[in-house]
Structure 1
Amino acid sequence: MMTPLALFLALVLGVSAAHKAHSPTRLGAAAARLAGVSLPAGQLLLVLTGGAEAVAALCLVLPVATTAGATTAAALWSAYALALWRRRGEVLDCGCDLVDRPRPVGPGQILRAALLAGLALALAALPAAASGFSAEALLAALGLFALYLGASEILAIPRPAWRKS
């Protein structure tokens, strides 16, 4: 059976790739700022990463290609974590959310990308799952995705009283 983790990571990657296709102007500029390159190079990075995310998402739902998808996803999210770490403290729209939210790049954004990379690496290390699809796996993946989106919204709170950074 397909694992909920593979489906969850595929959802995150698929939504991210679709988001890049839907908002190329905003996210091309965000990619350029995040990578420290020119706007045309940022647009190219956006297309390349969006394509890689889409391919990785597809691989994650194909049992014979799950390891390749997980490895690709881990590489992408590791690169995002590194780029965010390089820009920590800078106020910018990192493109991490579905809406334009310029704010200082902090530990939450960096850890989110690193955690996703770690989950993808863990999935790559798991034995290959048997082919098949279950409603339970899909519901679990959707639940994880809802929690992921909720955590993203919590990270977007500008100055909550409980956050020290």
Structure 2
Amino acid sequence: MQHSIVQIQQLPHGEGLELPFYASAQAAGADLRAAIDEDIVLTPGEYKLIKTGFAMALADGYEAQIRPRSGLAYKHGITVLNSPGTIDADYRGEVGVILINHGKEPFTITRGERIAQMVIAQFVQADFQAVTELSETVRGEGGFGSSGRK
């Protein structure tokens, strides 16, 4: 398993909360906690930016992907609106998570609740090249659903 150092700065409103952590030895995503002073209620269809109480510095060539927690999604319809959210290596502001309630009932977020997970991943920046033609493939221009369902 590959490791990368991620520098974390805990912000004043995040004091007392656990920093991002892996819940199991083989977890790909580190759990993120809500750094809020009072409960936040998400009504069905509503979305809000939830603060995490930390900022970070990623190594060059890495990004952080913010993803939903499967339990919140399955049990309550709570997910990350721009999933996966991307945090670039040169961003130094507070990490925030845009949560949306796709469920049928209001959902209350409390301080310290695990609200999302963060995956650190390497990436490649492409060199985009303008061309007049693209190579042919069997699929061609077949788009959404063109390969069938079964």
Structure with bigger gyration radius: 2
The structure with the greater share of residues assigned to helix is 1
* TM-score, normalised with respect to structure 2: 0.23
* TM-score, normalised with respect to structure 1: 0.22
